Structure 1
Amino acid sequence: MANEVFALDQGQGRAVLLVAGLGGQAAFWQPTVAELSGTHRVITFDHPGVGGSTLDGTPTIPGIVEAALRLLDQRDLESVHVVGHSTGSLVAQSLALDHPQRVKSIVLSSGWAQPDKRFEDFFAYRKLLLERLGGAAYTALTRLVAYPSEWYGEHFAVAQALDFEAPSAVDVPMVAARIDMLLGYSRKAELADIRRPTLVVGAADDYVIPYHHAQELAGLIPGASLRELSGGHFTPVTRTTGFAALLRDFWEAQA
Structure 2
Amino acid sequence: MPQLEVDGATLTYDDEGPRDGEGVPLVFVHGWTANRHRWDHQVAHFAEARRVVRLDLRGHGESSGAGARTIDDLARDVLALLDHLGIERFAIIGHSMGGMIAQTITLAHPERVERMVLVNSIGRMAYSRGRALLMAASTLAPFKLFVAANIQRAFAPGYPREEIREYVRASADTPREVVMTLYGAMRAFDVLDRVGDIHTPTLMVHGYHDIQLPLAQMLRMAKAYPDAVIRVLDAGHELPVEKPAELTAALDRFLAEGGRS
Give the TM-score range, shorter chain.
0.7 to 0.9
Name the structure with the higher helix share. Answer: 1
Alignment partner for residue 191 of structure 2, among 187, 194, 218? 187
Tell me whether 1:104 sits opposite 2:106 in the alignment: no
Aligned to 2:141: 132
Aligned to 1:6: 12
Structure 1 residue 116: Cα displacement: 1.2
Alignment partner for residue 39 of structure 1, among 46, 49, 63? 49
Aligned to 2:96: 86
Once the two structures are superposed, residues 53-94 of structure 1 have per-residue CA deviations (whole angstroms, 9 ceiling, x without a partner) of 343524321111111111111121111110111111111111
Q: Secondary structure at the match of 1:17?
A: strand
Distance 1:124 1:171, change over 3 A: farther
Aligned to 1:117: 127
Structure 1 residue 130: Cα displacement: 5.4
**For 1:200-211, what aligned pairs fall within 5 Å after superposition?**
200-211=204-215
Q: Is the 8 A contact 2:59 2:174 kept in 1?
A: no
**For 1:131-150, what aligned pairs fall within 5 Å after superposition?**
131-135=140-144, 137-150=145-158
Distance 1:30 1:224, change over 3 A: same
Q: Is the 8 A contact 2:61 2:174 kept in 1?
A: no
Distance 1:128 1:27, change over 3 A: farther
Structure 1 residue 252: Cα displacement: 0.8
CA distance in 1 between partners of 2:82 and 2:54 (Å): 11
Tell me whether 1:240 sits opposite 2:244 in the alignment: yes
Q: Secondary structure at the match of 2:105?
A: helix
Distance 1:130 1:8, change over 3 A: farther
CA distance in 1 between partners of 2:36 and 2:119 (Å): 16
Aligned AA for 1:197? P
> How large is the RMSD of aligned CA atoms in angstroms?
2.4
Aligned AA for 2:215? Y
Aligned to 1:73: 83
Percent identical residues: 24
Q: Secondary structure at the match of 1:106?
A: strand
Q: Is the 8 A contact 1:113 1:216 kept in 2?
A: no
TM-score, normalised via structure 1 length: 0.86
Q: Secondary structure at the match of 1:9?
A: strand
CA distance in 2 between partners of 1:78 and 1:123 (Å): 40
Structure 1 residue 134: Cα displacement: 2.4
Aligned to 1:176: 180
TM-score, normalised via structure 2 length: 0.85
Aligned to 1:16: 26
